[in-house]
Structures are given as structure tokens and as C-alpha cells.
Amino acid sequence: MDEVKGSNGDAGIPSTVVFRLGTLGTVAADRFAAAIEPLDLKPKHVGLMASLAHGEASASQQELAGRLGVVPSLVVSLADHLERLGAVQRVRDPGDRRRQILTLTEHGRALLAQCTATARELDERFTAVLSSQQRAALQEALAILAAEAGLPTK
């Protein structure tokens, strides 16, 4: 792909970190989505399960929406699907009957472990052209950027 030079002579948009991360992120997300499709999951389902696994033992749908930066109706839809799969349990908050509390089930933990293993396999293939030092540097740089953006780093 030929790079279009910017008006000031720079290499253009394809050389920017934001463009490259966005494009590579799309490629990686598409590969991950295809790999977990047989589990009847999408990346957003995995994100919800990961949030439950790495946050409090249980959380309200409203809290999860805030944690994930999405509208509450999306969390409801994702939780509906995960509940049908037996991956989450939804119960009314005894202190506030309007709130639904979600908890990751053992089956949900097993599904999340499968997704993690799949992601690690994809990581290996995706970064196969890098040396071990380059992989470590990439992981370190991504962790710094994730922390700066307020995202989980582990």
C-alpha cells in the first residue's frame, strides 16, 4: 500500500500509531471473534465475563455498564445471552429490588478460561514474526497505554 504523504511531507496516516493500532485491533478482534464463535460468544460477551472475573465477585448491571463504558441496555442484552448459556447468574439485589446482580458461574469461568487460551494462541500466531524481546517490549508498551487509558493491564 503506497503511503500518501501529508501536506508537510510526513509519511501520512498509515504511519501513525493510532491508525496502526486501530487497523491491527480490527484484524485481531475479527480473528478472536471467529475463534470464539463456536462457543456462541462474541468479544463483548467475553469482556463482560472478564469484568465479572476481575472485578468484584458480583456486580449490578448498572455498575458493569459504567465499568465497561457502555449503555446499560447493552449489558442487559449481553447478560441475557450469557444467562441462557449458563455463564452468569442474575439475581435481584435484596437491598434494592430494582437492581439485578450478575455473578459469573463455574461454567462462565470455564468459558472464560477457554477464551483466554484461545486469545493466547492467537497472540502467538499474531506476534510470531517478532523476536521474544520485541514481544516483551510490545506487551510492556501496550500495558502502559492501557493503564493510561484506564483499562485493565492484567
What's the pTM value of the predicted model, to 2 decimals? 0.83
Say how many Å lie between the first and final Cα of the chain, rounded.
Answer: 35
List the one residue out of 6, 12, 35, 2 whose CA is nearest residue 119.
35
Domain 15-145 fold is Arc Repressor Mutant, subunit A (1.10.10)
pLDDT digits (tens, 9 = 90+) for 73-120: 999 999 999 999 999 998 887 888 878 888 999 999 999 999 999 999
- Domain boundaries defined on the chain: 15-145
pLDDT value at residue 8: 56
